[in-house]
Chain A
Amino acid sequence: MKSVVLNIVSSAKIYAAQKIENLDEKRLVPNMMTRRRLTRNSRIMLYLSDKCAFSGGKIVYGSCFGELEETAKIANSVLEGDMISPTSFQNSVYNTAPSYFSLINKDTDEIITISSGMKTSLDTLKTAALQALASGEKVLCIAIECININKIQEINRCTKFLEAGVAVVVEIAQDENEVKEIESLHVDGIIGSLQDLMSVANMHENGINKIKVEL
């Protein structure tokens, strides 16, 4: 195994028990028609990337459950024999959120989308480290879960926060001075698939700017 030392350039996180309010959509997406099409994951992605001052470049995006709201709409239509909404289908792929980011910011750089269960944000960070290593560029590493769908309370056993997201911008460090191993600084009640990246964002909030990632 090889370890990679990363500078944390910026970080941001957000979460809410039900729905995250005020994601600053009107400023971030002035075009109303585009704004109306955005999924919840896309809105949170645009908010977090703005907080990280990231407007373009390589992106590694992670989500265990993907576009759950749109997927649930399609699944319900299939089960009930109804017509499927083409918009829901278009918005149901895992890479919907980074794709909207790319369209809105006119960013044509590479995106990779990872879904690795409860290890999603850790695998997202590892992939971002690999991307930074291969390209020598800054990489936005972001993980989002929005599971606020109808009747979710009947099956939700894993989180107090139905909407949550976390982002860090990383780059390869030139040296290992003051580098830290990733500490477990979880946020209580956050879904497990985001906790590893939450820890990194919390480390950054605590003044740590350099981490070692084991690939």
Chain B
Amino acid sequence: MVNILSSAVHCAKTLGEKVLEDGTKIPYFSLENEIRQNQEEIYNAIKDVVSKVLPKQTKQTALIIGTSLIDWHLLDAIEANEANKPYTSNKRSIDSYAKDLADEFGLSGFTMTINTACTSSANALLEAKNLIKAGIVENVIVVGLEIFSPVMSSGFASMDLLSKTKPKPFKKDRDGLVLGEGVGAILLGSQESPWELLGGFSNCNSETITSVSSSGDECVEVMNNALENCSLHVEDITVIKAHATGSQANDEAEMNAIKKVFKKEPTIMSLKQHIGHTIGASGVLEIALLMKDEFKNGIFMCNYFGFGGNNISLILRKNS
């Protein structure tokens, strides 16, 4: 049995605005105390959430980070070249955070940084379950991290995927996704807890490199296999925490998939209207927020669908 023992989150509370390099204004969920693209600030933000979920048995605890962030060494190097300046940098690389934190907190040597776009930290949670189930470690801390990136925001803008107003998941007048930043940590282990991570299923299946088909068949596969892996039936699911980005195509595909899997739809909820689409961090952040809600006992399916056809459904049970 792998349980969710505790969580800590640091995410935006209100919708604000960002200005891109070309002057375009986009709605954006920024952290109150913005973490700039400053390596020490980012490291300290992760350290803060990790310290809040740290178990007693640190030597038997692994650390996995899920993020879609790229390496800022590259941006510095390119900027230096453009200005014909020599490039030097003592900055941390994204992947080094996990190892440095493991050293600082005296964790086990097992660290990993998973980058599978929007499903990064959701995949990290499934890998964490595998680690505990295989008896490799007793606990795993899974971190989800996403900080404002002009590269990513401009990229989504280039694909005309960003909303000009606010996130409206599953609404008829939805006009795109609103990005957000945040950092969160979840501690998994076999100790007692009302929340259990029953399991899930991850696949790589899409119509194009960025999207699933409007039929949602790729999402049907992942939801059905998640249920099968957890020995559950559709009627066992109490609530679906949908991926629900607010984009026309993705919401349509997900809703079509839900209709195909569930003859009688359970309660469907979305969280991106509160914190934005936090991309690689959304797996951890949205489950941490779900756990803070006053839900009665039940079984929850959490969907995440990402670029490259990376799709995952996780299933959680609350039994207080």
> Which residues of A pack against B, CB within 8 Å?
1-2, 37, 59, 64-66, 68, 71-72, 74-81, 83-86, 88-96, 98-100, 102-103, 107-117, 119-120, 123, 126-127, 130-131, 133-134, 151, 154-155, 215
Contact = CB atoms under 8 A, between A and B. Distances in A.
Contacts of B82: 76, 79-80
B134 A113 contact: no
B115 A103 contact: no
Given A89-B158, A94-B68, A134 B113 contact: no
Contacts of B123: 112
B268 interface: no
A95 to B, nearest CB: 4
Interface residues of B, number: 60
Nearest to B157: A84
A108 B213 CA distance: 14
> Which interface residue of A110, A111, A154 has the most chain B CB atoms within 10 A?
A110
Contact of A93 (B68, B133, B136): B68
B154 interface: yes
A112 B127 contact: yes
23 contacts: A2-B136, A74-B151, A74-B155, A75-B151, A79-B82, A83-B158, A85-B158, A89-B156, A90-B159, A91-B209, A92-B70, A93-B307, A95-B117, A95-B204, A99-B209, A103-B206, A103-B309, A108-B205, A110-B202, A115-B94, A115-B115, A119-B99, A134-B133
Given A2-B134, A75-B75, 12 more contacts: A37-B209, A75-B151, A78-B154, A79-B82, A90-B209, A92-B70, A93-B117, A108-B204, A116-B98, A126-B110, A127-B112, A134-B134
Interface string B150-175: 11001111110000000000000000
